[in-house]
Amino acid sequence: MTQQRRITTGKPIDRFYSVIPAGGIGSRLWPLSRADAPKFLHDLTGSGQTLLRDTWDRLVPLSGEQRIMVVTGRAHRAAVETQLPALADPNVVLESEPRDSTAAIGLAAAILERREPGVIIGSFAADHVIHNMPAFQAAVREAVAAAEAGYITTVGIRPTEPAVGFGYIHYGDRLELPGAPSALTVDSFKEKPDLETAERYLESGSYLWNASMFITRADLLLEEIGRNRPRLLEGLLELAEAWDDPATRGPAVDRIWPGLEKIAIDYTVAEPAAAAGRLAVIPGYFDWDDVGDFASLAKLNSGGRKSDLAILGENARVLSDASSGIVVSQSKRVISLIGVRDIVVVDTPDALLVTTSENAQRVKSVVDALKLTGSTDVL
Amino acid sequence: MTQQRRITTGKPIDRFYSVIPAGGIGSRLWPLSRADAPKFLHDLTGSGQTLLRDTWDRLVPLSGEQRIMVVTGRAHRAAVETQLPALADPNVVLESEPRDSTAAIGLAAAILERREPGVIIGSFAADHVIHNMPAFQAAVREAVAAAEAGYITTVGIRPTEPAVGFGYIHYGDRLELPGAPSALTVDSFKEKPDLETAERYLESGSYLWNASMFITRADLLLEEIGRNRPRLLEGLLELAEAWDDPATRGPAVDRIWPGLEKIAIDYTVAEPAAAAGRLAVIPGYFDWDDVGDFASLAKLNSGGRKSDLAILGENARVLSDASSGIVVSQSKRVISLIGVRDIVVVDTPDALLVTTSENAQRVKSVVDALKLTGSTDVL
């Protein structure tokens, strides 16, 4: 009964810290997402607030406002603080330059472990979309229980279709952990599959979508990083030691940060921990999307009806005749579509993108081409 | 020999006046063409000058600068005079409101016939594209000879493909007119055909494209109008009588112009004259296009290669990946296309159009919809 109540209660979880790495630009959402307007600073659902703020609002009931840490780039500090006025100053961790997710989440873990040994942290992307808060919170509460039992724990989303844009988690047996009745072992992580493989995953019922959520004791996360990347851990611990003293933080960052290995946490923590049986997964029964590209954004905003035209933008003036897909409008210009199906039109003050849902993943290549041609003014 | 020399010489033709009705907005080219920026004021070929100016340049060798008359709306006076600095002041005929082509060309004919009885006029659209000046001029010189022989004469373009966007002229026997060796009788005019019909027309070899050129003695044109629309002719003659006196012109325009019947010259002159055997046609062996829609504009600017992306616009910054069609850019925005075929993208400061070549004819319906919804700011 005690455990049950713990899962469903609305009170923040003891000793639990949420970490939000808010780093990625979201290049596949260019020209909406930019270096100075990354994906997490956009309202992509028509909710009226940014994805970052949505993330914050989801986590406050779990951690409380005082126990949410945001790791972001120096350039985004003002925007982040505007979005999250209740974010405590010591909980803003600024990166001098992006060094990928192991460094971002690892530094947060090291700082928090130093401040509060034995703390449990949960890391949640700043730019994902989740609907059904109670189910999300229930899953995280179970994950915290699994973390308390010593597992590095992730929340995997129960697939609803053979998606090819997500990574998958192949799970195994039930762990029977106290407070985490649905916790399962993780056999392995799978890269984004082709359609045939994705269909097989869906049918088998043994796969979940990888939503990049990690809930774990901070010390165990650091231990895992140290096992696989001892030099990286060393740098993170040194940084953490210097962090809370204004006199030592700056020099430490300048000295250590640029030398940290750029590597995703999937390779330093998730995959090796899974292989060693130290990873658990809680199946999440809620709508989740990483909004990885405009096809995903279109689906998200059209209520799943392929025949519809989704329109995103406060001042959008869109005239559609026999057209479907998505229009993202950042201007008051009249946008007229005639007979274009599954179209993607993104209209920003200085750049316009026209493509189709089918080609949505190729948007990143345009960003690369713009970099190469020196057109960095629109990136 | 004399006739031959007349056909090929570069000297202006005696007693020949060119009339350029510069009225139509070109709604199918919205949002490029607007009420305040009609089609004839655009450079649609990358020539560096407007279609109106191209038209003028084609006609100067035939009429001389002093014998070209432009009939246009009051709102376009300044733009027209900027484009055509050599246009003589008495040759600017301003319409207080558009009343279609019979009124426009008929008024020009009435004014010129009054000034110079027996004059031959040729009326040429302000917004068509023609390549091969010598062939165009040779055809018009023949048409003038046919007009001198008493025929209302048109120049029909030898078709090169089964176009469905043009009207056709069904021609009959050779007329054997002095100075117009290739003049033929006209059996009838045909509306824009469907593809099957257009293919039949092309195969038969007895059809030409209707390029809306009319070369005729002004008095015979007026006579033809009078036969079919006596009240309209009466109004035109009254206007012409008052025209060249500043004291009488204004009141006459105010009194008569708004009451003139709005009707195309096809119905008041071309079709009845053809039916009565009073119409001749000179086949024109030159590239001609009325640039009626964006599909036509795309073809015109892609050198006929369907796989290409045509780009129109001085400051265009276009990145194309596996795309074809046309981009018209009136901004310095980066325009990026990925995997869109036969696309039409028209990017203007206050309106954006995205459609396909196949849907190009439907653009007018958007303009109608914008009118209905009161979005006249972008029309």
Write the pLDDT tens digit of every residue in A38-56: 999 999 988 889 999 999 9
- Taking residues B168-181, report their average pLDDT: 96
**Tell me, what's the pLDDT at B47?**
85
Domain spans in chain B, listed from the N-terminal domain onward: 2-289, 301-378
Helix (H, G, I), strand (E, B) or coil at A62: helix
Does pLDDT of A4 surpass 70? Answer: no
Q: What's the pLDDT tens digit per position in A134-174? A: 999 999 999 999 999 999 999 999 999 999 989 999 999 99
pLDDT at B293 over 50: yes
Instruction: Please report where in the chains the tokens 């029309």 appear, as a residue.
Output: B379
Split at pLDDT 50, 70, 90, the class of A307 is low
Average pLDDT over residues B232-255: 97
For residue A149, give the 3-state DSSP assignment: coil
Q: How far is CA A160 from CA A72, A211, A287, A288, A321, in A?
A: 32, 14, 9, 10, 31
Q: Residue B6 above 70 pLDDT?
A: no
Cβ-count burial of A316 within 10 angstroms (0-12 exposed, 13-18 middle, 19+ buried)?
A: middle
Question: How sure is the predictor about A1, in pLDDT bands with cuts at 50, 70 and 90?
Answer: very low
> Given this model, what pLDDT does residue A3 score?
39
Dist CA A154 CA A183 (whole Å): 9
C-alpha span between B330 and A36 (Å, rounded): 26
The pTM for the full model equals 0.87
Asked if B336 and A343 come within 8 Å (Cβ–Cβ), the reply is no
Contact present, B71 and B19 (Cβ < 8 Å): yes
**End-to-end CA gap in chain A:** 53
pLDDT score for B46? 83
Dist CA B81 CA B92 (whole Å): 9
Burial of A158 (0-12, 13-18, 19+ CB in 10 A): middle
pLDDT at B376: 84
- For chains A and B, CB pairs below 8 A equal 120
Q: At what angle do helices A218-228 and A100-115 cross, to 10 degrees?
A: 140
Pairwise CA distance, residues A123 & A23, whole Å: 13
pLDDT > 60? residue B7: no
Residue-averaged pLDDT of chain A: 93
Cα separation values, A203 from A156, A161, A184, A186, A198, Å: 16, 10, 19, 18, 9
Residues of A in contact with B339 (CB under 8 A): 355-356, 358-359, 362
Class at the top of the CATH hierarchy for domain B2-289: alpha beta
Mean residue pLDDT across chain B: 93
Cβ <8 Å between A339 and B355: yes
Residues of B with CB under 8 A from a CB of A: 31, 317, 319, 321-322, 332-340, 343, 345, 347, 349-356, 358-359, 362-363, 365-366, 369-370, 373, 375, 378
B77 has a pLDDT exceeding 70: yes
| Backbone phi, psi, residue B190, to 5° | -120, 140
For position B60, what pLDDT does the model report?
A: 97
